[in-house]
Amino acid sequence: MLRLAGARLLDERDLSEVLAVLAADPVASCMVAARVEVAGLDPWRLGGEVWAYDHRSLRGGRVDALCFAGPNLIPLRGNTTALRSFADRARRRGRMCSSLVGPAEQVLGLWEELAPDWGPAREVRADQPLMALGGSPSIPLDPLVRPVRPDELDRYLPAAIAMFIEEVGVDPCAEDGGASYRARVAELIAGGRAFARFEGGDVVFKAEIGAMSAKVGQIQGVWVRPDRRGNGIGAAGTAAVAERLVRGLGRTASLYVNSYNDVAKAAYRKIGFSQVGQYATVLF
């Protein structure tokens, strides 16, 4: 067993316990569960580490807190003491993530510990309603929204880049000419998880299933071309993606949205999404 400042690095022997913790809140834990269910807890295959904080010095103690450390730092459970232990481990490891994201109480508590060393953040989004839909949408679906084909990558990519800049505030092509982002988008398309409505060869609506566990699919990157906004394309398109998740793939559809985005929140409620939790994101 490896320990550092109270945080325990988990391995395959802890898999059943971790899966039980993730299953307790499948919507909030979707991003981590999607990885763990496929790759287990081996850091090499997982693309990150899973840390726990428990009350015993021996393996087998009850896991009271859980944190994923990879491209994003995602604290899923934990009180102040546990979050402090995660912060200690994260400081020693060095910042390797582009954001902190997850349940708001844990993210903001962890950021309070890390801010003196990792701050200032580029942006803190402290209130992001986490929403879910377990049945068919309440509005008509857009019949023109469909999975993007691999040969449509070059037509889809400009819309994905525009969405990223608008939502995250940085250009995903800035550091490596966009090679990494292009590869990520291509991966989503190849997996049948990128959706769009094309008009005249151009994307007017797009959305993706960014993470998909055995129970939940998380919709991300919802975008409507600026000149087509305000006429219901976004709601009908998102409803089509949600229907694919719920009826086609047997998952609960989920997403999270910035609290100040009243238009998006109203659209998601109209579709049938309801708030089931609160997320927060710290962007670097």
Domain boundaries, the chain: 2-120, 146-277
* Statement: the pTM of the whole predicted model exceeds 0.75: yes
Q: Which residue has the tokens 């009180």?
A: 79
- Per-residue confidence band for 84, with pLDDT thresholds at 50, 70 and 90: very high
- Summarised one tens digit per residue, pLDDT across range 255-265 is 999 999 999 99
Residues 6+ apart with CB under 8 A from 280: 100, 101, 102, 103, 104, 107, 108, 124, 125, 126, 127, 128
Q: For position 64, what pLDDT does the model report?
A: 78
* CATH class name, domain 146-277: alpha beta
Hey, what amino acid is at 16?
A: S
The mean pLDDT of 59-73, rounded to a whole number, is 83
Per mean pLDDT, which range of 55-64, 68-77, 124-133 is the poorest? Answer: 55-64
Domain 2-120 and domain 146-277 have a common topology: yes
Please classify residue 51 by burial: count the beta carbons closer than 10 Å to its beta carbon, then call 0-12 exposed, 13-18 middle and 19+ buried.
buried
CATH architecture type of domain 2-120: 3-Layer(aba) Sandwich (3.40)
∠ CA 219-148-178, rounded to 5°:
80
The mean pLDDT of 65-80, rounded to a whole number, is 96
- Summarised one tens digit per residue, pLDDT across range 43-62 is 999 999 999 986 554 455 56
Sign of CA dihedral 22, 223, 208, 95: negative
